[in-house]
Amino acid sequence: MPRTGFPVMMPVYAKSGITFERGEGVYLYDNKGQRYLDFVGGIAVTGLGHCHPYVVKALKEQADKVWILSNSHTSPPTDRLAERLIDLTFAETVFFQNSGVEAWECGVKTVRKYFSSIGQPQRYRIITFKGCFHGRTLAAIAASKTDKMVKGFGPMVDGFDQVAWGNLNEVRAAITEQTAAIHIEPVIGEGGMKPADPEFLRALRAACDEFGLLLYFDEIQCGMGRTGKLFAHEWAGVTPDVMCIAKALGNGFPIGACLATSKAAQGMTVGTHGSTYGGNPLATAVGNAVLDIMTQPGFLDRVIRKGDYLWQKLDDLVKRHPKIFIEHRGKGLMQGICCAAAISNEDFIKALRAEKLMTVAAGDNMFRLLPPLIVTESEIDEAIAIIDRVTAKMVAA
Ligand SMILES: *Cc1c(COP(=O)(O)O)cnc(C)c1O
């Protein structure tokens, strides 16, 4: 086809017009040599910053060994990553995928298959929460039910019953003899940086135990150290039966994983599920390198400290500019600010970008700050100074 002027990439994203050529740590460099402070990181993906040398080395070394095997075979990095994820969590078994939503959907299939394998196939419905985001496949949009994501894509996949965020009465009232699981993001990311009350997560665990349901957590964004624990649910002291992870596990190399107990995974037998690329040794070599760093003593404590530092700075900012900002929410190094109704978050994000700070939108008219976990206090100060400058201009205008 000759070029028609139609966007060469399907125009489902509003483009910034910036072409980035390389990244290093917390910085991105565009094709004009301009440097940006990146507090997005591919949306909570580059937990260790761009091109972390240790991770780059692991990828290059694996590139000289073997790239792909059928999942009928395995490789040292893939076995090792599965074993380490099991050692570090509630899980007894893992299936690797290539993205967040694939790992998420593997979790949904694991839940459904569990009930069919114990002779209760009528129990296939999953209770989900308003405001949560689980990805963009047909099943994932049916679970989150967000207007702009579902409109025009019907008919929706059946089997997801949505209730209000944080409302235990609604959860309990929604449980029927068809319910299989309760599913939640322990900290809502896209939907507006809302941590679930630890008490609420404990109550969900109790409800699952009471009614024989599986508890399924989506830690694709809030996991992998983002909140200062390797996984966000650790703050509540409860464990799920199934969990999906992705994003920072590969620091930018695509990988996702579905983790489960042996009980929950009992239906996932030979031939029931699969993936061509899932668990390829390039991805799992990177995953191991990421875990090497994140499990070093003190790493997560530093995330907590830097999260507290960012919290104080943002709190102060919101207090100083009550006309521009409404509130500030989040946990660890996933935080965001809600802009006042008169200011669109998208406009604010553009203004920050013009000053070379990258942030990203979230629900509730929010802009999100997701710096790499290796961010320093002085880089946080640099970001705060930019937000302050942009805010002062808006107050003056
Ligand atoms: C990003 C995200 C997903 C989807 O991951 P993809 O890799 O984009 O498919 C699912 N759930 C949560 C909580 C996410 O943040």
pLDDT in tens, 143-184: 999 999 999 999 999 999 999 999 999 999 999 999 999 999
Assign residue 350 the CATH number of its domain: 3.90.1150.10
Domain boundary at 251, 271, 294, which?
294
Q: Which tokens is 355 given?
A: 């000053």
> From ligand 1's centre to the CA of 2, what distance in Å?
35
Same domain, 137 and 271: yes
What is the structure's pLDDT at 142? 98
Assign residue 248 the CATH number of its domain: 3.40.640.10
Mean pLDDT of 321-340: 97
Q: Which atom of ligand 1 is nearest to the CA of 140?
A: 10
Residue ranges around ligand 1 (CB below 6 Å): 99-101, 104, 133-135, 185, 189-190, 218, 220-221, 246-247
What is the structure's pLDDT at 395? 80
Mean pLDDT of all residues in the chain? 97
Confidence of residue 396 (pLDDT cuts 50, 70, 90): confident
Could you tell me what percent of the chain has a pLDDT over 70? 100
> From ligand 1's centre to the CA of 4, what distance in Å?
33
Residue 9 lies in a domain: no
User: Which residue has a Cα nearest atom 10 of ligand 1?
Assistant: 134
What is the structure's pLDDT at 394? 85
CA angle 118, 269, 158 (to 5 degrees): 60
> From ligand 1's centre to the CA of 291, what distance in Å?
20
> From ligand 1's centre to the CA of 303, what distance in Å?
22
Q: What is the pLDDT of residues 341-379, one digit of tens each?
A: 999 999 999 999 999 999 999 999 999 999 999 999 999
For residue 397, is pLDDT > 80? Answer: no
Mean pLDDT of 277-297: 98
Among 45, 247, 277, the mutation site with the greatest number of ligand 1 atoms within 8 A of its Cβ is 247
Domain boundary at 294, 329, 353, which?
294
Query: Residue 330: which of 208, 216, 232 has the closest Cα?
Result: 232
> From ligand 1's centre to the CA of 24, what distance in Å?
24
114 vs 119, 161, 204, CA distance in Å? 9, 19, 19
Q: What is the pLDDT of residues 239-277, one digit of tens each?
A: 999 999 999 999 999 999 999 999 999 999 999 999 999
What is the structure's pLDDT at 379? 98
68 Cβ partners below 8 Å, 6+ apart? 277, 280, 281, 282
Residue 166 lies in a domain: yes
DSSP state of 46: -
Domain boundary at 294, 328, 351, which?
294
What is the structure's pLDDT at 337? 98
> From ligand 1's centre to the CA of 186, what distance in Å?
13
What is the structure's pLDDT at 68? 97
Residue 60 lies in a domain: no
Residue 3 lies in a domain: no
For residue 209, is pLDDT > 90? Answer: yes
Same domain, 121 and 256: yes
Same domain, 275 and 372: no
Give the global pTM: 0.98
Residue 326 lies in a domain: yes
Q: Which atom of ligand 1 is nearest to the CA of 101?
A: 9
Following CA atoms 164, 170, 172, 175 in sequence, which dihedral angle do they give, to the nearest 10 degrees?
-80
* Number of domains the chain contains: 2
The range of the structural domain enclosing residue 325 comes to: 20-52+298-396
Same domain, 312 and 247: no
> From ligand 1's centre to the CA of 28, what distance in Å?
22
Residue 42 lies in a domain: yes
Is omega for the bond preceding 11 within 30 degrees of 0, making it cis?
Answer: no
CB atoms within 10 A of CB 164: 12
User: Which residue has a Cα nearest atom 6 of ligand 1?
Assistant: 100
Same domain, 27 and 98: no
Q: By the 8 A CB rule, do 136 and 105 touch? A: no
Q: What is the pLDDT of residues 26-42, one digit of tens each?
A: 999 999 999 999 999 99
Same domain, 135 and 184: yes
> From ligand 1's centre to the CA of 389, what distance in Å?
32
The H or E element spanning position 59 is helix 53-63
Residue 58 lies in a domain: no
Same domain, 231 and 278: yes
Residue 1 lies in a domain: no
Same domain, 241 and 212: yes
Q: Which atom of ligand 1 is nearest to the CA of 190?
A: 15
Q: Which atom of ligand 1 is nearest to the CA of 247?
A: 7
Q: What is the pLDDT of residues 103-131, one digit of tens each?
A: 999 999 999 999 999 999 999 999 999 99
Same domain, 238 and 380: no
Same domain, 82 and 45: no
Same domain, 250 and 331: no
What is the structure's pLDDT at 106? 98
Q: Which tokens is 307 given?
A: 């999260």
Hey, is 369 helix, strand or coil? strand
Same domain, 339 and 221: no
Query: Residue 190: which of 339, 342, 40, 304 has the closest Cα?
Result: 40
Task: Please tell me the distance from the alpha carbon of residue 105 to that of residue 64, in angstroms, as a whole number.
Answer: 32
User: Which residue has a Cα nearest atom 11 of ligand 1?
Assistant: 134
